[in-house]
Every structure is written in structure tokens, then in C-alpha cells.
């Protein structure tokens, strides 16, 4: 139970980090969806935040898969 709570909080923090890459303090980038997406994908700081969030999610998914497989082997 403790492990699931820890993994859930880890994933939630990864999503919060990723969404902070979308936020922008200035109003100069509100030309439209395509311009906003282009800005998000071309700025290094935004890309790093998105990649960090993606890495955390992928790591957590892989870790959970490994734990489930080891648990399945232990049950057999």
C-alpha cells in the first residue's frame, strides 16, 4: 500500500512539472494554439520540462511493470 501511494505521488508530481512548462508569465505568446504549441516545442526550457515529466512517467511505468512481473513470478 505504501509503495502505491509513493508511486502515485511521484506520477502526480511529474504531471505538475510537465504542466508548469505550459504556463508562461507574460502575455506576449497568446497568438493562437499553433503558435503556442510551436513556442512550447521550440524553447529549450519548455522542452526540458516536458522531457523531464515524460522521463518520470516512463520510469514509473517501467518500475511498476518490473514489480508486477517479479510479484507474478513469486506467486507461481
Compute the average pLDDT of residues 3-10.
77
Range of the domain at 53: 47-76
75 located within any domain: yes
What pLDDT is recorded for position 4? Answer: 76
68 located within any domain: yes
Q: What is the pLDDT of residues 42-74, one digit of tens each?
A: 888 888 888 888 888 888 888 888 888 888 887
State the total domains in the chain. 1
* Cα–Cα distance measured from residue 42 to residue 46, given in angstroms and rounded to the nearest whole number: 8
pLDDT at 25 over 60: no
| Exposure letters 32-51 (e unless 16+ CB within 10 A, then b) | eeeeeeeebeeeeebeebbe
54 located within any domain: yes
Instruction: Label each residue of 10-56 as H, E or C.
Output: HHHHHHHHHHHCCCCCCCCCCCCHHHHHHHHHHCHHHHHHHHHHHHH
Of 1-5, 6-10, 18-22, 69-73, which gets the smallest average pLDDT? Answer: 18-22
What pLDDT is recorded for position 67? Answer: 81
65 located within any domain: yes
28 located within any domain: no
Amino acid at each position: 500500500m505504501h509503495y502505491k501511494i509513493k508511486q502515485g505521488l511521484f506520477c502526480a508530481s511529474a504531471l505538475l512539472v510537465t504542466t508548469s512548462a505550459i504556463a508562461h508569465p507574460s502575455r506576449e505568446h497568446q497568438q493562437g494554439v499553433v503558435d503556442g504549441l510551436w513556442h512550447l516545442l521550440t524553447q529549450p526550457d519548455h522542452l526540458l520540462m516536458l522531457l523531464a515529466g515524460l522521463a518520470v512517467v516512463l520510469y514509473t511505468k517501467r518500475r511498476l511493470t518490473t514489480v508486477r512481473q517479479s510479484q507474478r513470478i513469486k506467486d507461481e
